[in-house]
Amino acid sequence: MRLLLVRHGITQNNLDKTYSGQSDVPLTELGQRQAEAVATYLSEEKLDVILSSDLQRAYDTARAIARHHTVPVLKDPDLREIGMGWWESLTRTQIQERNIEEWLYVRGDSANHAPTGGESFVQVQARAARILQRCQETYPGQSVLWVTHGGFI
Protein backbone atom coordinates (compact mmCIF):
# COMPACT_ATOMS: atom_id res chain seq x y z
CA MET A 1 0.00 0.00 0.00
CA ARG A 2 1.18 3.50 -0.82
CA LEU A 3 0.09 6.04 1.78
CA LEU A 4 -0.05 9.82 1.32
CA LEU A 5 -0.80 12.20 4.20
CA VAL A 6 -2.36 15.65 3.97
CA ARG A 7 -3.10 18.05 6.78
CA HIS A 8 -6.28 20.11 6.44
CA GLY A 9 -6.20 23.79 5.55
CA ILE A 10 -5.98 26.54 8.14
CA THR A 11 -8.79 27.37 10.58
CA GLN A 12 -9.52 30.41 12.72
CA ASN A 13 -8.31 28.45 15.76
CA ASN A 14 -4.96 28.00 14.01
CA LEU A 15 -4.76 31.75 13.41
CA ASP A 16 -5.79 32.48 17.00
CA LYS A 17 -3.25 29.94 18.31
CA THR A 18 -5.93 28.03 20.20
CA TYR A 19 -6.10 24.27 20.50
CA SER A 20 -8.76 22.87 18.17
CA GLY A 21 -8.48 19.24 19.16
CA GLN A 22 -11.69 17.47 18.19
CA SER A 23 -13.77 20.64 18.03
CA ASP A 24 -15.48 20.73 14.65
CA VAL A 25 -14.24 24.05 13.32
CA PRO A 26 -14.43 25.03 9.63
CA LEU A 27 -11.72 26.14 7.27
CA THR A 28 -11.15 29.85 6.83
CA GLU A 29 -11.14 31.39 3.34
CA LEU A 30 -7.37 30.93 3.37
CA GLY A 31 -7.86 27.31 4.45
CA GLN A 32 -10.22 26.76 1.54
CA ARG A 33 -7.62 28.19 -0.86
CA GLN A 34 -5.01 25.90 0.71
CA ALA A 35 -7.32 22.92 0.17
CA GLU A 36 -7.72 23.90 -3.47
CA ALA A 37 -3.94 24.33 -3.83
CA VAL A 38 -3.16 20.87 -2.43
CA ALA A 39 -5.95 19.46 -4.60
CA THR A 40 -4.32 20.94 -7.68
CA TYR A 41 -0.91 19.69 -6.55
CA LEU A 42 -2.25 16.15 -6.14
CA SER A 43 -4.41 16.20 -9.27
CA GLU A 44 -1.99 14.03 -11.25
CA GLU A 45 -1.41 11.53 -8.42
CA LYS A 46 -2.97 8.10 -8.73
CA LEU A 47 -5.38 7.71 -5.82
CA ASP A 48 -7.55 4.66 -5.22
CA VAL A 49 -9.29 5.94 -2.11
CA ILE A 50 -9.36 9.01 0.11
CA LEU A 51 -9.95 8.58 3.82
CA SER A 52 -10.66 11.64 5.91
CA SER A 53 -11.13 12.56 9.50
CA ASP A 54 -14.83 13.10 10.09
CA LEU A 55 -14.13 16.64 11.31
CA GLN A 56 -15.30 19.34 8.89
CA ARG A 57 -11.92 20.99 8.27
CA ALA A 58 -10.35 17.72 7.11
CA TYR A 59 -13.41 16.49 5.22
CA ASP A 60 -13.71 19.76 3.28
CA THR A 61 -10.03 19.48 2.35
CA ALA A 62 -10.56 15.86 1.24
CA ARG A 63 -13.57 16.81 -0.89
CA ALA A 64 -11.51 19.48 -2.65
CA ILE A 65 -8.91 16.84 -3.52
CA ALA A 66 -11.58 14.34 -4.60
CA ARG A 67 -12.95 16.75 -7.20
CA HIS A 68 -9.82 15.96 -9.24
CA HIS A 69 -10.29 12.18 -8.92
CA THR A 70 -13.05 9.64 -9.37
CA VAL A 71 -12.60 8.04 -5.96
CA PRO A 72 -14.73 8.04 -2.84
CA VAL A 73 -14.03 10.10 0.27
CA LEU A 74 -14.64 7.91 3.30
CA LYS A 75 -14.92 9.47 6.74
CA ASP A 76 -13.08 7.69 9.53
CA PRO A 77 -13.06 8.97 13.12
CA ASP A 78 -9.75 7.19 13.74
CA LEU A 79 -8.16 10.00 11.67
CA ARG A 80 -9.40 12.69 14.08
CA GLU A 81 -7.08 15.17 15.72
CA ILE A 82 -5.78 14.38 19.17
CA GLY A 83 -8.47 15.10 21.74
CA MET A 84 -7.44 18.08 23.87
CA GLY A 85 -10.24 17.86 26.44
CA TRP A 86 -10.94 21.10 28.27
CA TRP A 87 -7.96 22.74 26.55
CA GLU A 88 -9.89 22.97 23.27
CA SER A 89 -10.50 26.52 22.02
CA LEU A 90 -8.05 27.92 24.58
CA THR A 91 -4.57 29.38 24.10
CA ARG A 92 -1.51 28.14 25.94
CA THR A 93 -1.62 31.21 28.17
CA GLN A 94 -5.29 30.67 29.05
CA ILE A 95 -4.63 27.05 29.96
CA GLN A 96 -1.63 27.96 32.10
CA GLU A 97 -3.63 30.66 33.90
CA ARG A 98 -6.47 28.24 34.66
CA ASN A 99 -4.41 25.21 35.70
CA ILE A 100 -0.62 25.49 35.54
CA GLU A 101 -0.20 22.20 37.42
CA GLU A 102 -2.06 20.22 34.76
CA TRP A 103 -0.24 22.09 32.00
CA LEU A 104 3.15 21.15 33.48
CA TYR A 105 2.07 17.56 34.15
CA VAL A 106 0.81 16.97 30.61
CA ARG A 107 3.63 18.83 28.87
CA GLY A 108 6.15 16.96 31.01
CA ASP A 109 5.15 13.66 29.39
CA SER A 110 2.55 14.25 26.67
CA ALA A 111 3.23 10.81 25.27
CA ASN A 112 1.53 9.30 28.30
CA HIS A 113 -0.42 12.17 29.91
CA ALA A 114 -3.44 13.98 28.52
CA PRO A 115 -5.47 17.04 29.44
CA THR A 116 -8.58 16.17 31.43
CA GLY A 117 -11.05 14.74 28.94
CA GLY A 118 -8.40 14.48 26.22
CA GLU A 119 -6.01 11.92 24.77
CA SER A 120 -2.32 11.18 25.16
CA PHE A 121 -0.09 10.67 22.15
CA VAL A 122 0.06 6.96 23.03
CA GLN A 123 -3.72 6.81 22.60
CA VAL A 124 -3.51 8.63 19.26
CA GLN A 125 -0.75 6.26 18.19
CA ALA A 126 -3.09 3.33 18.91
CA ARG A 127 -5.77 4.90 16.68
CA ALA A 128 -3.18 5.46 13.95
CA ALA A 129 -1.99 1.85 14.16
CA ARG A 130 -5.59 0.61 14.00
CA ILE A 131 -6.45 2.53 10.84
CA LEU A 132 -3.10 1.74 9.24
CA GLN A 133 -3.68 -1.98 9.74
CA ARG A 134 -7.24 -1.70 8.39
CA CYS A 135 -5.97 0.13 5.30
CA GLN A 136 -3.18 -2.38 4.70
CA GLU A 137 -5.72 -5.21 4.84
CA THR A 138 -8.40 -3.43 2.79
CA TYR A 139 -6.26 -1.67 0.16
CA PRO A 140 -3.19 -3.85 -0.51
CA GLY A 141 -1.16 -2.55 -3.44
CA GLN A 142 -3.34 0.56 -3.72
CA SER A 143 -2.69 4.27 -3.30
CA VAL A 144 -4.44 5.65 -0.21
CA LEU A 145 -4.67 9.30 0.84
CA TRP A 146 -5.40 10.26 4.43
CA VAL A 147 -6.64 13.80 5.11
CA THR A 148 -6.10 14.40 8.78
CA HIS A 149 -4.60 16.77 11.35
CA GLY A 150 -1.22 18.06 12.48
CA GLY A 151 -1.32 16.39 15.88
CA PHE A 152 -2.31 13.08 14.32
CA ILE A 153 0.43 13.26 11.69
From the number of C-beta atoms within 10 Å of its C-beta (0-12, 13-18, 19+), residue 99 rates as middle
Could you tell me if 119 and 150 are in contact, meaning their C-beta atoms sit under 8 angstroms apart? no
- Those residues whose C-beta lies under 8 Å from the C-beta of residue 30, and which sit 6 or more positions away, are 9, 10
**Residues noted as catalytic:** 8, 81
Could you tell me if 71 and 47 are in contact, meaning their C-beta atoms sit under 8 angstroms apart? yes
